[in-house]
Amino acid sequence: MSALYLLHKPYRMLCQFTDRRGDEGGRNATPRATLAAVIDVPGIYAAGRLDYDSEGLLLLTDDGSLIHRISDPRHKQPKTYRVQVEGTPDEAALAALRRGVALKDGLTRPAKVRRLATSDLPERDPPVSPKRHPETTWLELTLTEGRNRQVRRMTAHVGHPTLRLVRTAIGPWRLDGLAPGQWRRETLHAPRTARRAGRRPGGPR
């Protein structure tokens, strides 16, 4: 069996347990919030990552093979995001995201995209300023690849910069009402093939 921890990573928190920049000192070395502030489970590491200014579902475990299965791009775990963008994307912009857009590192894979009437998410602290951004739209995007800051780059490419980004699902795992900073533990059992072979969960494959 393997333990998997589902965490709602808050805004402006590093996706790691220490802030190396703060530890090293020097100019602009004010420590940033880390995962140690919200989850105290020894020996676990994140399977994948979220940017400092992104929020939402993060998976953590002490099982190295499980981390590989979740984060390796070859497994193509779909990831779903709720994204607040500037302005109101028209159908042409949404169609471009669905087809794939040409970024500097190549054409993105087609994405699933739909408008949302509401995010159904808790308010961010601090919130997106309505004075600076009077017109915004919530979208739900599902991607099957994970390039650096991909969602932000895609929405900017079609003329609607991302103001807030919250990951709500990774493969079969969902945020499911966790508030920022909250987490829950799930127990994963060995795949049937591993049990037949008598291998330990998380052992060599």
Residues 85, 39: one domain?
A: no
Give residue-wise pLDDT tens across range 35-45: 999 999 999 99
Q: Secondary structure of the chain: what % helix, strand, coil (to 5)? A: 20, 30, 50
Residues 21, 37: one domain?
A: yes
pLDDT of residue 51: 95
Give residue-wise pLDDT tens across range 69-87: 888 777 778 999 999 999 9
Residues 100, 112: one domain?
A: yes
In terms of residue numbers, what domain contains 42?
A: 1-75+174-205
Residues 96, 163: one domain?
A: yes
Residues sharing a CB contact under 8 Å with residue 63, sequence separation 6 or more, in sequence order? 2, 3, 4, 201, 202
Residues 22, 68: one domain?
A: yes
pTM for this one? 0.87
Residues 196, 150: one domain?
A: no
β-strand pairing of 162-170 with 79-86 = antiparallel
pLDDT of residue 198: 42
pLDDT of residue 205: 33
pLDDT of residue 1: 85
pLDDT of residue 201: 39
Residues 103, 180: one domain?
A: no
What is the CATH classification number for the domain harbouring 188?
3.30.70.580
pLDDT of residue 204: 36
Residues 163, 88: one domain?
A: yes
Residues 66, 108: one domain?
A: no
DSSP at 139 = E
What is the CATH classification number for the domain harbouring 145?
3.30.70.1560
User: Of 19, 40, 51, 176, which residue is the catalytic one?
Assistant: 51
Partnered with residue 184 across adjacent β-strands are: 6
- Domains: count for the chain: 2
Residues 107, 43: one domain?
A: no
d(CA 52, CA 81): 15
Using 70 as the pLDDT threshold, list the residues of the chain that sit under it: 22-29, 190-205
120 labelled catalytic: no
Residues 20, 32: one domain?
A: yes
pLDDT of residue 191: 54
Residues 12, 32: one domain?
A: yes
pLDDT of residue 25: 56
